[in-house]
Amino acid sequence: MDIDNKARIHWACRRGMRELDIAIMPFFEHEYDVLNDDDKRAFVRLLQCDDPDLFNWLMNHGEPEDGEPKRMISLIQTRNKDRGPVAL
């Protein structure tokens, strides 16, 4: 997926699991544009992971084995925490 195709990335952020939508959508809407290209690619690759894995990682019920997804999960959690609760 092209990191500049925001419509397609936005669509990929919609996971169908409310907990994931609450974590991923605000991060995309508020943070994606300020990420560097490497982080954008990491985010897009993260979106290709299975929902159960994403849920477990974002809820701190395990972590990815690879360092890149682990760093992106941490970034999502930190930025969302810093921004505070967001209503969808």
CATH of the domain at 72: 1.10.150.250
Q: What is the pLDDT of residue 65?
A: 85
For residue 16, report the phi and psi dihedrals to the nearest 5 degrees. Answer: 90, -5
Q: What is the pLDDT of residue 54?
A: 95
Q: What is the pLDDT of residue 85?
A: 65
Number of folded domains that form the chain:
1
Q: Does 88 map to a domain?
A: no
Q: Does 1 map to a domain?
A: no
Kindly give the confidence (pLDDT) of every residue in the chain, 88 residues in length, as a single tens digit, with 9 standing for 90 and above.
889 999 999 999 999 899 999 999 999 999 999 999 999 999 999 999 999 999 999 999 998 888 889 999 999 999 988 877 665 5
